Chain A
Amino acid sequence: MRRIATLFSTTFLMGWALVTASEAAEPLKVGFMTVRSGALAAGGRQMEEGLQLCIDAHRGEMAGRKIQIITADTAGQPAVTKTKAQELIERDGAQVLIGPLAAFEALAIDDYIRQTKTPIISPSAAAEDLTQRKPNPWFVRAVGTSAQAHHPLGEYAAKELHYKRIAIVADDFAFGHEIAAGFQRTFEQNGGKVIQKLWSPLNAAEYGTYISQIDPNADAVFAAFAGGNGIKFLGEYKNYGMQKPILGAMTTVDEGILKRMGDEALGVISAGWYSAAIDTPANKKFVEAVRKSYGADPGYYTVGAYMACQFLNNALEQVKGDISDKAAFMKALRNVNIPESPYGQVKLDQYGQPILDIAIRKVERKDGKLQNTVIKTYPAVSQFWTYKPEEFLKSPVYSRDWTPVK
């Protein structure tokens, strides 16, 4: 009993000593929610790489304060994410959060973030309503919304590719629904028509049944997939004797999986707020750094986490490293303005969503490697595209049945 008591007091003293030491150095504690196990682990690893790169670029210090990253593995499961967020904030004393990876994870901690008033920067979750109909005052996003890049793609398909009829095949979950709906809206507004929408389950074992159903009258196919599904779909597509050109969502041919693809991906036209092939000095420097450290091109997750961390830096500089006034820090986060980044110039709208340059990209082979060559850029695209925010927000959030196939 006495031994236990001694043990307790020693631990307590050690803990106390640690606390005082850390107060003296005053590092800023950033809780980072990533995924290291399960189906989303690849994206999680790329996020960690992007974040590390940014921290290294700042030599672990922002606005004169040491940055201490506390990493938690959410396994990509919303229930675990909630627990990890609580651990990070209540046990580890995280003052800012970066993460989580998936939209349903972000939704799972939405209420908790509001209760604890913890600033959180999303490096990946794209669900529209997080910055639209249900904005969280403590939330900003460092990436585009689901439809943000696909509004321009719809217009491009109609106006410049002159497609009249398009069949959509998309993952049957919110991300796929939102991408498909955004694309359809602008495509049809410019005279095109979506003649078919096929929803394949997120964990569809194979795509043969869907490829066989594609309407022969379609001029092209818009394939909106997340995770590794793009690999499966494109791999099978040509083997079914299909010749129709393919348009892709940003994640269908994301650099994270493009490196695993072969000739089947050539010629796919997609849209995104990022491509590793964007030809600016800021991006070239970033891509070089990623290649040097990790031997691969950066994609969606790498650049998302990198930018989330740059957002943090930008906001910290505005408040000179002092985040004791959370409201002021939050205001700074929403006021982030980064003139040069891998994305190009980044500013936020009043909903906490970045206004981004959108690249129309085409998969080409260069130096023996596949890349998303930029063929056109739509500058400063808002999450509301060219619509008035008030009117945009009046219609329901994009879903499986909205916009409907007429």
Chain B
Amino acid sequence: MNFWVIQGLNGLAFGSLLFILASGFSLIFGLMRIVNLSHGAYFMLGAYVGLSAIDAGVSFWVAILIGGLAISVLGAIIERFILRRLSGQPLAQVLVTLGIAFIIADACVWIWTGDPRPVPMPRELAGAFRVQQLAFPIYRLFVIGVAFTLAATLWFLLERSRLGAMIRAGVDDLSMARAMGIRTSLLFPVVFCLGSALAGAGGVLAGPILSVYPGLDTDMLPLALVVVILGGIGSLLGAFIGSLIIGFIYSYGQALFPDLAYVILFLPMVLVLTLRPTGLFGRQAI
């Protein structure tokens, strides 16, 4: 009984981290049709920036904001000066984002040396939450809370606001949205900045659990890809459900079938791609 509860919470917490990472990735992917392979690097860079902010004496909460803000500025610059010039050439865009990922990764080694660094967690969230025999880290409960709040906020933004309606229109049919007079050229930078900010802030938030080290980017990017492919391109609900599924598979799978940890993680992706290529909640892009 304990086993299922604890590993369930572990899965929920890891799924929550994945959602924070994958939501931005999915938004960008869905609207701009860019597989942003530098998303993992944004996540890592955000964590490093947040860490430096904490080192400089800023509180953890402000560090999350700084991490998010810094990466959204970087995202804005990359969108404006690189990706926009390549609009309409998806392959070139993907390759450019891959190149940017490498540049960011080596710049991080250069600036922060290659030392793995823990991100100190806020004192008030350290330690374990206990119920009878069970003990679970308070910080992970907090991360779960953040992910659900974020999911609700993004849902409200997409489903209830005018901006969200424009984004949804763009995701469903870009050329028709343009024909209807939606200025997608304004929409793109907004979404790219938002997605980047989520990656940057998510990196800081994940820091106390994952720590920051060279290679964090390439560890996380495939997971974001799996989530988005599983959940369906451009679907917020898909990213949410996909993250939780992968989180659960990750924790139960590693505990129950330790030798097959990676097979189990990628098997659902293969199945979904074969049986339902648009993902669980995706719609056919036009």
Contacts and interface: CB of A to CB of B under 8 A. Distances in A.
A212 B3 CA distance: 8
Given A205-B223, A212-B7, A239 B251 contact: no
Interface string A231-273: 1100110111110000000000000110011100000000000
A213 B2 CA distance: 10
A203 B215 contact: yes
A37 B208 contact: no
A108 interface: no
Contacts of A209: 7, 10, 14, 250-251, 254-255
Nearest to A212: B6
A321 B114 CA distance: 36
Given A203-B219, A206-B14, A38 B214 contact: yes
Contacts of A117: none
A210 interface: yes
B208 A235 contact: yes
Contacts of B214: 38-39, 41-42
B215 A39 contact: yes
B262 to A, nearest CB: 7
Candidate in A44, A227, A228, A262 with the most chain B CB atoms within 10 angstroms: A228
Contacts of B262: 201
Contact of A235 (B118, B220, B258): B118
Contacts of B130: 241
A373 to B, nearest CB: 22
B146 interface: no
Contact of B140 (A40, A200, A203, A208): A208
A227 B261 contact: no
Contacts of A240: 128, 135-137
Nearest to B251: A209
Given A205-B220, A209-B7, A239-B137, A231 B116 contact: yes
Nearest to B126: A239
Interface string B94-137: 00000000000010010001111110100000111010000111
16 contacts: A37-B109, A38-B214, A38-B215, A45-B113, A198-B258, A200-B254, A205-B210, A205-B223, A206-B14, A206-B210, A209-B250, A210-B254, A256-B115, A260-B118, A262-B118, A262-B120
Interface of B: 3, 6-7, 10, 13-14, 106, 109, 113-118, 120, 126-128, 130, 135-140, 208-211, 213-215, 219-220, 223, 250-251, 254-255, 258, 261-262
